[in-house]
């Protein structure tokens, strides 16, 4: 993190991290959101026609698409998860994509509901690990998807085969070939 004592190299590394991490995840969020809206035409209409759902719609896309699928953490103290005990120094893999579909947290977790109001997803982490770029990524996705749905009336995939980038932690489409009909 940047502080008054940061070296120029640390500042550059932090800026590169924000640029690369923010770009890749936001692109995956927008492409995954567009695909999900195409797969749920009723929700696409709600997103287009009801400005009240734009903010919560972006949150639902984050939950449903989960561009960041997993992250790792090292335990600082003994922690218990059900019957599993994690000791200090042990690494854990946290499955964000799975947590965002947890039926103990989300009603109908496999249902894409653009108007879902109660949405404590972990798409940008939590607490001290909450993503620094989260507000910017949400704004970018809301603007990109909002502009796309307002300026077009019909979206049609030009291929049925979807290819995802090969990355275990990030889930994103390699491409999304689409034919658009202007509004």
Tens-digit pLDDT string for the chain (183 aa) = 556 788 888 888 877 777 777 788 899 999 999 999 999 999 999 999 887 888 799 999 999 999 999 999 999 999 998 899 999 999 999 999 999 999 999 999 999 999 998 899 999 988 888 887 888 889 999 999 999 999 998 889 999 999 999 999 999 999 999 999 998
Q: What is the C-alpha separation between 59 and 139, in angstroms, rounded?
A: 11
Question: Alpha-carbon Rg of the chain, whole angstroms?
Answer: 18
Instruction: Provide the pLDDT for residue 143.
Output: 93
How remote is the C-alpha of 166 from its chain's centroid?
17
Would you tell me how many other CB atoms lie within 10 Å of the CB of residue 106? 21
- pTM, to two decimals: 0.85
H or E stretch covering 139: helix 134-151
pLDDT tens-digit profile of 15-31? 777 777 778 889 999 99
Q: Which CATH class is domain 8-67+112-182?
A: mainly alpha
> Burial level of 121, CB count in 10 A (0-12/13-18/19+)?
buried
Q: What is the C-alpha separation between 33 and 148, in angstroms, rounded?
A: 11
Say if CB 103 and CB 80 are below 8 A apart: no
């Amino acid at each position: 993190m940047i502080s008054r004592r940061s070296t120029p190299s640390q500042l550059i590394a932090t800026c590169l991290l924000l640029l690369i991490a923010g770009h890749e995840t936001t692109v995956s969020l927008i492409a995954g959101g567009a695909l999900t809206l195409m797969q749920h035409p009723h929700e696409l209409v709600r997103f287009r026609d009801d400005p009240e759902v734009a903010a919560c719609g972006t949150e639902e896309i984050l939950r449903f698409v989960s561009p960041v699928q997993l992250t790792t953490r090292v335990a600082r103290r003994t922690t218990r998860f059900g019957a599993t005990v994690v000791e200090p120094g042990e690494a854990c893999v946290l499955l964000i994509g799975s947590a965002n579909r947890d039926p103990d947290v989300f009603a109908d977790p496999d249902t894409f509901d653009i108007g879902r109001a109660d949405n404590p997803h972990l798409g940008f982490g939590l607490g001290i690990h909450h993503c620094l770029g989260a507000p910017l990524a949400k704004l970018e996705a809301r603007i990109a998807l909002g502009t796309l749905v307002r300026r077009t009336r019909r979206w049609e995939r030009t291929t049925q085969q979807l290819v995802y980038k090969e990355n275990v932690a990030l889930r994103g489409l390699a491409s999304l070939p689409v034919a658009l009909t202007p509004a």
